[in-house]
Chains A and B, each alone.
Chain A
Amino acid sequence: MRVGYMRINAEGVTEQVLHSEHASREEAHTAAVALADSLVGTADIVEVQRGYANGETTFHPRVIYNVPPTDAQRNPS
Chain B
Amino acid sequence: MAIFRGIGGSGDSSDNSYLQEVTAQANAAQTSAETAFSHALLAAEASSSILNLTAATGAAGTDASYDASTGVLTIPRGDTGVVNTASVSAAGAALLTGADFTGDVTTGSKLIAKKYPVSSELLTTSRSVQDLADWSVYLLSSNYDPTPEKYRDSLDVNQDNRFSSADAAAIFSFVVANYTAEEQTTYTNLVNNPNNNTSTFVQDVLDGDYDTDFVIIDKDASSLLTVNGDTDVTGNITVSGTVDGVDIATRDGVLTSTTTTADNALPKAGGQMTGNITFSGTQTVDGRDVSVDGAKLDTLERTVRSRFQKRAYSNTSPLVALTTTYQQIGNSLRINSGATTAVENVLDLNIAANFFDVNSTNDAVFLVTVDAPSPASETTVNLGTVTVTTVGSEKYFTVTGDFTKHFSPYCGMSTNSDGSNAFNFNNNDGWYYDPTTNLTTVFHYPYQANNPTTGDTVYLHPFDWETAGTEINGDTYTLEAYNAHGTVHQNQFHQIYLGYYKPERTFKIKAREIATSDNVSISRVSGTYSQIIGS
Contact = CB atoms under 8 A, between A and B. Distances in A.
Interface of A: 1, 6, 8, 11-14, 23-25, 29, 46-47, 51-54, 56, 60-64, 72-73, 76-77
A77 B425 contact: no
Contacts of B515: 8, 11-14
Nearest to A24: B420
B467 A54 contact: no
A63 B473 contact: yes
Interface size class of B (residues with CB under 8 A): 20 to 34
Nearest to B369: A64
Contacts of B425: 52
A72 B517 CA distance: 31
A63 B472 contact: yes
A15 to B, nearest CB: 10
A3 to B, nearest CB: 14
Contact of B324 (A11, A14, A77): A14
Given A47-B325, A76-B469, A56 B447 contact: yes
A11 B464 CA distance: 35
Contact of A76 (B445, B448, B468): B468
B424 A53 contact: yes
Contacts of A56: 447
Q: What 4 A-B pairs have minimum CB-CB distances, sorted nearest first? A: A52-B424, A77-B468, A76-B469, A12-B516
Interface in B379-432: 419-428
Interface in B422-470: 422-428, 445, 447-449, 464-470
Contacts of A47: 325-326
Contacts of B448: 52-53
Interface in B133-174: none
5 contacts: A6-B324, A51-B426, A52-B423, A52-B424, A64-B473
Given A12-B515, A52-B423, A53-B448, A63 B324 contact: no
Given A52-B426, A54-B424, A60-B427, A8 B470 contact: no
B470 A14 contact: no
A64 B466 CA distance: 13
Interface of B: 324-326, 372, 374, 419-428, 445, 447-449, 464-473, 512, 514-517
B514 A14 contact: yes
A52 B465 CA distance: 14
Given A47-B326, A60-B426, 8 more contacts: A8-B516, A13-B516, A23-B421, A29-B467, A52-B422, A54-B424, A56-B447, A72-B471
A23 to B, nearest CB: 8
B445 to A, nearest CB: 5
A50 to B, nearest CB: 10
A70 B6 CA distance: 193
Contacts of B467: 29, 76-77
Contacts of A14: 324, 512, 514-515
A62 B467 CA distance: 13
A53 B425 CA distance: 9
A39 B468 CA distance: 25
A54 B426 contact: yes
A29 to B, nearest CB: 8
Contacts of B473: 51, 61-64
Nearest to A13: B515
B469 A77 contact: yes
Contact of B447 (A24, A53, A60, A77): A53
Given A47-B325, A47-B326, A52 B445 contact: yes
Given A13-B514, A24-B420, A60 B465 contact: no
B516 A63 contact: no
- Of A1, A8, A46, A72, which is in contact with the most chain B CB atoms at under 10 Å from its CB? A1
A52 B448 CA distance: 9
Contacts of B372: 76
Given A12-B517, A52-B445, A25 B374 contact: no
Nearest to B516: A12
Contacts of B447: 53, 56
A8 B467 CA distance: 29
A60 B428 contact: yes
A68 to B, nearest CB: 13
A52 B421 CA distance: 11
